Structure 1
């Protein structure tokens, strides 16, 4: 009887994990179509009517994110949990709320974030897609009246489904969910989480043909003599990632301290982002930014432009998120790492002409290093680069830069990440690297 119950239990879990993958994949497809639609409305229809040119710059770009902020202000005011990327809310739900997320938040997140990104807000769609997948999975678990443990597991499956469906990297998507939510517990829970990730990725590919828009060259390699350069880049990017996370929350505090209505903060934040984006309208400062990542990896951007874009994206994303907009940190982190990594590689190429340095190597390794430092999820990025390049030639360098950045940022942030810092500000103490089951549950969540 015990074996029979065990089989029934896991048959149910695997069935629901497949269903979660389908729902998460469809959610990702719908969300991406919504972003494309809102971007069409703002950039193709609205922008020509508000365009004013001054010394070759279109001042109309300044207004687009600000208008988007005004539109989403009522929604975010009534549902403050829509602010930011949504991953901290998933972590909170799994650790502190028995895996329960309100199902309607998935729909609201689609609307709020698609308007933010479509109007030019400098944020990513990946975190919100992960949140949408987790919300839909949580609603599914609540519908079937599953136990708290299974609700947590299925919610994590939804997060993995969303991330996997975005990048065409099911292995890395599953590992992201495990690293940021389960924080060290790799057990039999791997099975349904990986299953959801694979199914969601398949669903996304069926509808969109390709999940990740950046064209990654497949034949990229580095010399082992470059490992020292990649190690030093890991140190540099770990420091940069940690202090950017600190700056982001410092800026959030500054906005929250301003005693004005939410819509004014969203409007001012949008104006600031639009002003920065006006100088680089075709390089991804406004919106997700994959177009500039592809140019950087292909070696088509000069050194000065790479540095300006990397810094500009940091400022634009900080202003978008800190002013209260809805959007993710995932894609901007990849953008910053890729652009500044390519700049680092370009500098090395100038100083060490005898070594055949390919800046694309440093763009991809920088992408992994910066993201690993700020999110404290290095395995996800190591696997993602392997899946995106469809090979393992870059793994030694990527492992070197990602783990070095991870450890450096971990030391500076004292075990926190950009995700857990948000929870710590609410009094929910979660440290990366500590298994979920060892976390202390705050009394507010009995």
Structure 2
């Protein structure tokens, strides 16, 4: 039996996504503007401090005070630590519950004062968590629960990334590919509505110029694509190194015996000598990406810049301060691309005119392999540089880098970070009293494709309540045949949702 799906829910959630996107755009634009202006102030202060001992001491006192202030925020709300993306993933998976208002204001303030002094942290992860908090707040105000609540949280996360990078399509793709892991029409339509409305606010505030306006002169000839294979392998190897080192940082910080919430004092103190020595190279790194081609052909300078950015990025993020790794990853990828281009130029194997191209390509490849989200990487870099001319080389290098990390058993970095979160047992006990909705998609070639429902060994703890096939909804029966493209809608115990989802994915895929 088939019935046509009503559009009321889709329209309702789309309007909700627009509202969430507007508030997310305002919040993230203020967050982005504050960080940029605070960074400019600190860069000037670091330059002035080179010949002023009193100013050096004043900066140290100020940054220690900032570290203590943020430590109090972290102690009262540990879930504002880091980028916030793993926490959002856990929340959407049903493994964690967050206090949206506490997250919203503490992440906003803590993020500004942590990133603004010049630490090598990105604004995009916090922007995603800010948007998710707004989506959660809206769902509580409108009394939405279950799947609709999660869709609104996901739409807020999408709007956060869209406003942070002026990249609405990539924002939608990132949430679908990396955060929510669900391509339900309700999810992507609501997320896109949020991304577009949020991005409109950001464009009004910051203008139409691409975030990474990297100039380039020529498209790369097909005969030079062999460089993409070599560079992709290099990116994959360095990407796996990035994953290993980043995931090892909490253990390294534990050696200091400094309480976790106070470990941010280390990068905040170290940023003073770093800022005094290299004021133009501090911060998230988007300015560095734009100016890389102006640094000349000195491999010593470029490799030194890579080591500085790599090491201090680890120190900054490993401390647990509110801040992301999204932009720092793109920055490191860009530097790797510049190092490769200059090296090949010095060997007479590639004209230096293609340095900009390789900078752009390497950004996508590095993020694709570390985050294991190649589609997001391709679309994100395309939107950020404001050009569609690089799609083919972006796809080639992202694929190669992704495969290298996959062969080295690298997991998606945000998924790996999520696994290290402390899941609240009180939340799971409370959730065990309720049922929740879980959607699973059946892909082409799935083991259950063509099978009768009665013959599939589904877990005993689930109830299949509907099957969506295109725009139609099917009421499932024992003799219903599963087809590729079906979306199975099940009801599960809320506390077991994440576990059952993993079991179903193994069964279906």
Gaps of 5+ in 1: 429-434
Q: Distance in 2 between matches of 1:244 and 1:97?
A: 27
- Structure-2 change in CA distance of 1:169 and 1:354 (3 Å): closer
Counterpart position of 1:216: 214
Structural mapping, 1:8-157, within 5 Å: 8-39=8-39, 42-44=42-44, 47=46, 51-52=50-51, 66-97=64-95, 102-157=100-155
Counterpart position of 1:352: 348
- Structure-2 change in CA distance of 1:174 and 1:3 (3 Å): same
For the residue of structure 2 that corresponds to 1:422, the secondary structure is helix
Counterpart position of 2:307: 311
- Structure-2 change in CA distance of 1:85 and 1:4 (3 Å): same
Gaps of 5+ in 2: 424-437, 442-495, 501-509
- 1:337 aligned onto 2:394: no
Q: Distance in 2 between matches of 1:5 and 1:98?
A: 31
Q: Is the 8 A contact 2:344 2:350 kept in 1?
A: no
Q: Is the 8 A contact 2:77 2:102 kept in 1?
A: no
- Structure-2 change in CA distance of 1:80 and 1:37 (3 Å): same
Q: Distance in 2 between matches of 1:181 and 1:412?
A: 23
C-alpha displacement of 1:202: 0.7
For 1:198-224, what per-residue CA distance to the aligned partner results, in whole angstroms no more than 9, with x for missing partners?
A: 111111111222475432226541011
- Structure-2 change in CA distance of 1:299 and 1:386 (3 Å): farther
C-alpha displacement of 1:303: 2.6
C-alpha displacement of 1:21: 1.2
- 1:159 aligned onto 2:161: no
For the residue of structure 2 that corresponds to 1:114, the secondary structure is helix
Q: Distance in 1 between matches of 2:59 and 2:212?
A: 24
- 1:404 aligned onto 2:461: no
Q: Is the 8 A contact 2:235 2:366 kept in 1?
A: yes
Q: Distance in 1 between matches of 2:219 and 2:142?
A: 49
* TM-score normalised by structure 1 residue count: 0.87
Q: Distance in 1 between matches of 2:330 and 2:299?
A: 18
Q: Distance in 2 between matches of 1:48 and 1:427?
A: 41
Q: Is the 8 A contact 2:87 2:96 kept in 1?
A: no
Q: Distance in 2 between matches of 1:328 and 1:295?
A: 22
- Structure-2 change in CA distance of 1:405 and 1:63 (3 Å): farther
- Structure-2 change in CA distance of 1:318 and 1:273 (3 Å): farther
For the residue of structure 2 that corresponds to 1:364, the secondary structure is helix
Counterpart position of 2:284: 288
Q: Distance in 2 between matches of 1:355 and 1:34?
A: 40
Q: Distance in 1 between matches of 2:350 and 2:231?
A: 20
For the residue of structure 2 that corresponds to 1:189, the secondary structure is helix
**Aligned with residue 386 of structure 1, among 382, 386, 404:** 382
For the residue of structure 1 that corresponds to 2:120, the secondary structure is coil
Counterpart position of 1:419: 414
- Structure-2 change in CA distance of 1:39 and 1:394 (3 Å): closer
Q: Distance in 2 between matches of 1:186 and 1:6?
A: 15
C-alpha displacement of 1:64: 6.8
- Structure-2 change in CA distance of 1:334 and 1:24 (3 Å): same
Counterpart position of 1:302: 298
Paired residues in the alignment total 429
Q: Is the 8 A contact 2:151 2:186 kept in 1?
A: no
Q: Distance in 2 between matches of 1:63 and 1:373?
A: 40
Q: Which has the larger radius of gyration?
A: 2
For the residue of structure 2 that corresponds to 1:6, the secondary structure is coil
Q: Distance in 2 between matches of 1:184 and 1:374?
A: 21
Between structures 1 and 2, the one with greater helix share: 1
For the residue of structure 2 that corresponds to 1:282, the secondary structure is helix
Counterpart position of 1:225: 223
**Aligned with residue 191 of structure 2, among 190, 193, 211:** 193
* TM-score normalised by structure 2 residue count: 0.77
Q: Distance in 1 between matches of 2:199 and 2:104?
A: 19
Q: Distance in 2 between matches of 1:240 and 1:132?
A: 30
Counterpart position of 1:243: 241
